Amino acid sequence: MEKDKNKSMRSKCRGRLSPEPVKKGMTVDEVVDSSMFSFNAGAFRKACELFTGHMVSKDVRIGVSLAGALVPAGIGRSCLIPLMKAGMIDWIVSTGANLYHDLHLMLGYDFCKGQAHADDEKLRNEGIVRIYDIFLDYDALLDTDKFVRETLSREFSGINSPCSSADVHSVLGREAAKIRPDLKDKSMLAVAYECGIPIHTSSPADSSIGMNVAALMLEDKTFNIDTHKDINEVASYVYDIKKRGGESAVLLLGGGSPKNFVLQTEPHIQEVLGLEESGHDYFIQFTDARPDTGGLSGATPSEAVSWGKVDPDALSKTIVSYGDCSLMLPFFTSYVLNKAERRKHSGLLDKKDELLSILKNDYLNK
């Protein structure tokens, strides 16, 4: 009887954990698959598996949000550009700051190793700006400001119709690549332009790019960046793939406004436009934000279901992994590139006017 009881108790425990010793010469994906099972390590492994096993399917459209100073930290060059080239990112919403900082290298400047506890008054006097433990020459800001103003003034002069932030960023990427074609593979904006990936920002005025647009207004060289056009464009990317029977996935790097702008595509389609939809099908977030403070940055996929942002039937395909994106993304990228096949670029940058027209027609004809 006792033997049968012990056997019955053991049978109730499923999914045995069997970690393997980490050995010299193992690749990142081998380490993740063999030793990361529980707590945040387990969530990270599940995120890697969800992305490589489902999200990179050919009928899934992947939107990425980018918050925090990840480009100065090197994540743009080390992680996002390889994923973009591999066809694993279809559209992006970023803070404007990341895109502004992406331009420095093309203008002859790079970020340098610094100290988090430096004397900032001394740095100011020496013409150095600091992002935590990263240093940058102040002249990089001045030259980048000049490039942005001259480029936008020249390229958008006489254009009266409103443009989206994606239009602005594609022009900056194209022109930056002309300056330093030998470095174009190290610029997110340049790579996005060549791969046909639209990059939007949810707050065009909240960055140095926006400040330079404001300066052009004072010179009576204004042009109309309409963020409301961005809202419709990003919604059209999601609406198009779902209308054709595909699926929509989001990879959220940090939180903030970019996270919301990516996720609000679904409430815009369902609630505001009144078009039939049920929410994003896949959701991965890497964040250090807590959910119990009530902020959007830490809001869970389950909470997003209540807003229509995530399909309630897709909760099993959502993962939040807690940690610092600058630490997690290199390992995630290595895992993905080792495990998944390259995808054909969807070319949304060249299709966005067409997709916007479809969304508009369906809304007006519903």
Q: What is the pLDDT of residues 72-86, one digit of tens each?
A: 999 999 999 999 999
Per-residue pLDDT, 211:
96
Residue 303 burial (10 A CB sphere; 0-12, 13-18, 19+): middle
Strand partners, 134: 113, 131
360 is catalytic: no
Instruction: Taking residues 141-150, report their average pLDDT.
Output: 98
Cα 251 to Cα 335: distance, rounded to the nearest angstrom: 15
Q: Which amino acid is at 323?
A: G
Per-residue pLDDT, 98:
97
- Which of 309, 317, 339, 352 is flagged as catalytic? 309
pLDDT tens digits, one per residue of 113-133: 999 999 999 999 999 999 999
In sequence order, the 6+-apart residues with CB closer than 8 A to the CB of 131 are 69, 72, 111
Residue 343 has φ and ψ, to the nearest 5°, of -115, 155
In this predicted structure, the answer to whether residue 9 has a pLDDT above a threshold of 60 is: no
pTM over 0.85: yes
Per-residue pLDDT, 224:
86
Place of tokens 């404007």: 96
In this predicted structure, the answer to whether residue 8 has a pLDDT above a threshold of 60 is: no
In this predicted structure, the answer to whether residue 10 has a pLDDT above a threshold of 80 is: no
In this predicted structure, the answer to whether residue 209 has a pLDDT above a threshold of 90 is: yes
Instruction: Taking residues 95-113, report their average pLDDT.
Output: 96
The band of 5, judged by pLDDT with boundaries at 50, 70 and 90, is low
pLDDT tens digits, one per residue of 230-270: 999 999 999 999 999 999 999 999 999 999 999 999 999 99
Please report the domains of the chain, with CATH numbers, ordered by start residue.
Answer: 57-112+141-365 (3.40.910.10)
Place of tokens 């056997």: 7
In this predicted structure, the answer to whether residue 69 has a pLDDT above a threshold of 60 is: yes
Strand partners, 249: 62, 282
pLDDT tens digits, one per residue of 17-56: 888 899 999 999 999 999 999 999 999 999 999 999 999 9
Per-residue pLDDT, 25:
95
The band of 7, judged by pLDDT with boundaries at 50, 70 and 90, is low
Per-residue pLDDT, 11:
59
Least confident of 40-49, 306-315, 333-342, 347-356: 306-315
In sequence order, the 6+-apart residues with CB closer than 8 A to the CB of 113 are 133, 134, 135
pLDDT tens digits, one per residue of 281-325: 999 999 998 888 888 899 888 889 998 999 889 889 999 999 999
The band of 4, judged by pLDDT with boundaries at 50, 70 and 90, is low
